[in-house]
Amino acid sequence: MPVLHNRISNAELKLRMLRETEPRITISFYKYFHITDPRQFRDDLYVKFDAIKVFGRVYIAHEGINGQISVPESNLDAFRDILYGADPALNGIRLNIAVDDDGKSFWVLRMKVRNKVVADGIDDPAFDPSRTGKYLKAKEYNEITQDPDTVVVDMRNHYEYEVGHFENAVEVPSDTFREQLPMAVEMLKEHKDKNIVMYCTGGIRCEKASAYMLHNGFKNVYHVEGGIIEYVRKAREENLPVKFIGKNFVFDERLGERITEDVIARCHQCGEPCDTHTNCKNEGCHLLFIQCEKCAAEMDGCCSDECKQVVQLPEEESRKLRKGTDRGRMIFNKSRNNPLLRKKQVSAK
């Protein structure tokens, strides 16, 4: 039986990827459809993806599939054939090609079976995720947003919205999709008769969100087909005005795709305009935050003086301090609720 998981260190795999000479293409895709045996489906697909050197993350559940991957350019057609042939429901599935891509987004293939491809916290058996709002293509989005009776809703997390969003989009201020869904219903209850247009990065969250809004009595619900990625690609192809401002946050090594030159966020440490996300170099912290080049140099890539002291320790001492540390709570925390120590010190001077 073939090995169905990686056995090589991340460092070695990353080095191998960086040594590749053939260009890679970064792709995201998803589909809500019923999978009877997610484990078997995952194992069959893993073998085929691994054979053509697909890297990235793919989540599989009874409700469908969600993937963000990269594939060598010469294997793109093979990848498409494998995915389309995995199930009749996947035949012709939309593939979102990255907007701003150097092909170095992933270096290992990880495929996991989950309870849901998007954790939503919904336990209502009457909820039907396949009963979604109407798709909007780029031109249709630009047209409907000219209507004063349209409300545009960003169904991404705070740290994504912070660096870039559609013009006049409403933020649902949360760090998790499961928190956002009931918040969106509450925030928009006074606008039930308006056009509710929802969007996210690649379409998977806003599609489910549109179904949830319909489930809660909203009538005129829409969502951007293919999310920000597909919208920008189509708008540029068709020479349409691009209504997205700033950077599109992405969940891979790049941490962002530049859409426009506008920098709408600020360094969390000094307050200067900046939209570069990074993770604190202290592995025991790993907080995601925005840091400018100047602060990165001064703070050695850390979020606080405390973390800076840890990373400057000898590796053995640093490892002892990290041992047993729960990093999960610090990943993607809402930075506005976690003011960084450096920022406090600067403002006090």
Catalytic residue IDs: 200
**Phi, psi (rounded to 5 degrees) for 324:** 80, 0
CA torsion sign for 249, 326, 334, 313 is negative
The SS3 assignment for 303 reads coil
**Phi, psi (rounded to 5 degrees) for 2:** -70, 155
In a 13 Å sphere around the CA of 283, the CA atoms on its Cβ side amount to: 11
Distances (CA, A) of 92 to 80, 101, 347: 9, 23, 54
Report, in angstroms and rounded to the nearest whole number, the Rg of the chain calculated over CA atoms. Answer: 21
For residue 251, the 8-state DSSP code is S
Distances (CA, A) of 95 to 79, 146, 237, 285, 334: 11, 28, 16, 35, 30
**Phi, psi (rounded to 5 degrees) for 281:** -70, -15
Distances (CA, A) of 32 to 28, 65, 92, 156, 329: 14, 7, 14, 19, 29
In the block, residue with structure tokens 């307050």: 271
